[in-house]
Chain A
Amino acid sequence: MSDRASPAANTFDDEDDVVMSLEDVSVHFEKEQGVVSSLFDEPETVQAVDDVSLDIPENDVLALVGESGCGKTTLGKTIIGVQRPTEGTVSYRGQDVWDAKDGRGDPEIEHGDIRRALQMIHQDPGAALNPNRKVLTTLEAPLKKWEPDTDTEDRRARIFALLDRVGMQPPEDYAHRFPHQLSGGEQQRVALVRALLMNPDVILADEAVSALDVSLRVETMDLLLELQEQFNTSFVFISHNLSNARYLAKEAGGRIGIMYLGEIVEIGPPEEVLNDPQHPYSKVLRWATADLDPTAQEMTDPPVRSIDIPDPVDPPSGCRFHTRCPEAREVCTTESPELGEGAESPGGGRCAACFRTDPDHEYWDSEPLEGVDDAETPSLEK
């Protein structure tokens, strides 16, 4: 299936363990147009995800981090087969998800089975639960649909056991409440239970803890981790917060993927990506994450040449970060670096899409762009 040679951080050699596999996936959206302009102009397209290859093995945690509009949610939805890619393939245990959906070829795995194996928890649990339904009714619905043979007693027993498991005790009491009678953290747990009832292989958690209070975040993440271990589920965790992403990825022994304008620019184990970031953008995010110690953090100017993110309709040529990158040179405006190029995973599985990881690249002879400190010498290859 895959003929890639290097065991880079985004793909895995051992195909047996891979649940989801993305190959050269792009998702482009056409912007809405007025009637007149649609007759004459080509529609503008937003490149939400551009040429991403990625494997999700079993029992893994991948945390995707990036600014809003970087395409992390779109990529997450593509991973769990909710968003159809405009290019590339998404496969579940070797079966192309969209072929199965469209009935193309002879699918080995039914689309319904794939859908059940891939679940999602949304950012706003209040909006994800039907306000007119009791918790029990909400949780029974998927079981009734997919396992119509189970009798009521068994069904409820399973629901109560799971509610109990996520700390909603006594479960009988919680099951008969309406969503508005639950706190935000409890609503999020109900959403989690709903996803877990299907015994999924992958759960996408889109900013699942961002909306919660600071004091609840660690608790909720601990719960996610416990359940991940217990149910052997893989998690794709989306966050704009590097600290939360680190906590989850580190505790689970997973990976952090940094996204910028539709591309993964660096991916690997959290300690490597965060303690020794190779991509200038990862360093910028590191700067942006406040330190608890007031003496350790000085109010320095942002280490970017422009603090606003470019329009994704018209992303910059070459490396997409070159308009803001503090290290950009001429070559970055025309050529785009590939993830892992030159890096050959020096640190055991981490890769970054930056010319600076390759000591022999023509980047080093290229002219620095305006606003880039040209006195700077190669600093990454100390």
Chain B
Amino acid sequence: MQGQTTQRGPDSADPVIEARNVSVTYDLEHRDAMVLDDVSIDLRRGEILGVVGESGSGKSMLANAMMDAVEEPGITTGDVTYYPEDGGDPVSILDLPTEELKSFRWEEVSMVFQGALSSFNPTMSIRGHFEETLDAHDYDVEEGMERARQLLSDLYLDPDRVLDSYAHELSGGMSQRALIALSLILEPQVLLMDEPTAALDLLMQRSILSLLADIKEKYDLTILFITHDLPLVAGLADRLAILYAFELAEVGTAEQIAHNSKHPYTRALLQAVPNLDAPTETMRPIEGTAPNPAHVPNGCHYAPRCPLATSECHQETPPWVDVEEDHRSACFHTDEAADAVPFDLEEVSDA
């Protein structure tokens, strides 16, 4: 078997946020429900990391855990370390006192959720949100509003019109863009985006993604982009992390994942995604259903649906296998994945 790595230091190059062995559990009456299971991943400075998973796979939990924002009674364990850009002392996010966490959340790491309408206060104008945020963090409001106008026009919005509007007066795409502008108002280093475009039309989704790519360059951001839509992020993200049933299945560059995935689940997912260019015959659903968080299988979580599963898979947690540089897969059968679940992007794209 190829060289195995431990859970420590999976992707080391200059991380902004380093998550190690992060788990989130809910203590239910009869048993614990595990909604994030021992996830270790780095968010590297200046990258766009796409986290892809189906609904209920724990992808939102990962983002929440990174900000210590898991709601009660969820319990977050593990370590999340933030490395400031200026080389200052690393910050252990899970240990931050509430007050510091509050300022940290907007000034260093900011979050954008899906459904902007529920993120905005319906009785306050968009301008009010910007001013309040600046004021609450003791920023210069006038200077901040200049930045707000710039951010809004970077997102193809008319600053005057949008600032004077209430959220319900804007279309879904416009309010979502206004929310992205708001999240950047305190000049954070990192933007965590949880399905920021999910409720929008395809055209608006793609438009926002192309704007994000521009904004990331202009403001020197690091972005974690969470989605269920693999093709949507494939072109935007530098690296992709595939999450299945609360644990990471595979991490690699977007090219490696799309062209040379070594995990049976990723390959099955690639096959299952309706795609404009692929011959329709090559699309295949994934058999079976994802496990319930209270009844997670022992061993590899994907084993019950996996064509390659052996008794080992059902009993033991699969090790991380380094496939190539920057590309790791949590599977006992990394070498056989390609043959067992055939998927050839070249073939698919040329058709």
Task: Choose one: A287, A291, A302; the contact of B275 (CB below 8 Å).
Answer: A291
- Does B229 reach chain A (CB closer than 8 Å)? yes
Give the size of the chain A interface in residues (CB under 8 angstroms): 46
Minimum C-beta distance from B210 to chain A (A): 5
Task: Choose one: B202, B259, B274, B275; the contact of A240 (CB below 8 Å).
Answer: B202
Minimum C-beta distance from A279 to chain B (A): 14
Residues on A with C-beta less than 8 A from B230 are: 214, 292
Give Cα A286–Cα B345 distance, bound, in whole angstroms: 19
Residues on B with C-beta less than 8 A from A244 are: 274
Give the size of the chain B interface in residues (CB under 8 angstroms): 49
- Does B203 reach chain A (CB closer than 8 Å)? yes
Which residues of A, 226-250, contact B by the 8 Å Cβ criterion?
Answer: 240-244, 246-247, 250
Return the CB mask of B307-351 against A: 1 if under 8 Å, else 0: 000000000000000000000000000000000000001001100
* A242 contacts B202, C-beta separation under 8 Å: yes
Task: Choose one: A221, A304, A308; the contact of B174 (CB below 8 Å).
Answer: A308
* B210 contacts A292, C-beta separation under 8 Å: no
Residues on B with C-beta less than 8 A from A300 are: 210
- Does B13 reach chain A (CB closer than 8 Å)? no
- Does A338 reach chain B (CB closer than 8 Å)? no
Give Cα A254–Cα B77 distance, bound, in whole angstroms: 53
- Does A335 reach chain B (CB closer than 8 Å)? no
* A287 contacts B272, C-beta separation under 8 Å: no
- Does B255 reach chain A (CB closer than 8 Å)? yes
- Does A288 reach chain B (CB closer than 8 Å)? yes
* B201 contacts A243, C-beta separation under 8 Å: no
- Does B9 reach chain A (CB closer than 8 Å)? no
The prevalent SS among residues of B at the interface is helix
- Does A377 reach chain B (CB closer than 8 Å)? no
- Does B277 reach chain A (CB closer than 8 Å)? yes
Give Cα A203–Cα B202 distance, bound, in whole angstroms: 25
Residues on A with C-beta less than 8 A from B280 are: 246-247, 250-251
Give Cα A169–Cα B84 distance, bound, in whole angstroms: 55
Task: Choose one: A219, A285, A288, A292; the contact of B348 (CB below 8 Å).
Answer: A292
- Does B258 reach chain A (CB closer than 8 Å)? yes
Beyond A295-B255, A307-B156, is A288–B202 a contact (Cβ under 8 Å)?
yes
* A218 contacts B283, C-beta separation under 8 Å: yes
Task: Choose one: A219, A286, A292, A295; the contact of B278 (CB below 8 Å).
Answer: A292
Return the CB mask of B250-285 against A: 1 if under 8 Å, else 0: 000011001100000000111011111110100111
Residues on A with C-beta less than 8 A from B172 are: 68
- Does B103 reach chain A (CB closer than 8 Å)? no
Residues on B with C-beta less than 8 A from A241 are: 202, 274
Give Cα A319–Cα B179 distance, bound, in whole angstroms: 32
- Does A34 reach chain B (CB closer than 8 Å)? no
Minimum C-beta distance from B282 to chain A (A): 10
* A218 contacts B274, C-beta separation under 8 Å: yes
Which residues of A, 253-305, contact B by the 8 Å Cβ criterion?
Answer: 274, 284-302, 304
A214-B54, A240-B201, A290-B235 given; 10 more Cβ-contact pairs under 8 Å: A218-B283, A242-B202, A289-B202, A290-B206, A294-B234, A296-B235, A299-B210, A304-B207, A307-B203, A308-B156
For the complex of A and B, 4 pairs with smallest distance between CB atoms = A219-B285, A297-B235, A290-B231, A294-B254
Which A residues are within 8 Å of any B CB, using their own CB? 67-68, 183, 213-219, 221-222, 240-244, 246-247, 250-251, 274, 284-302, 304, 306-309
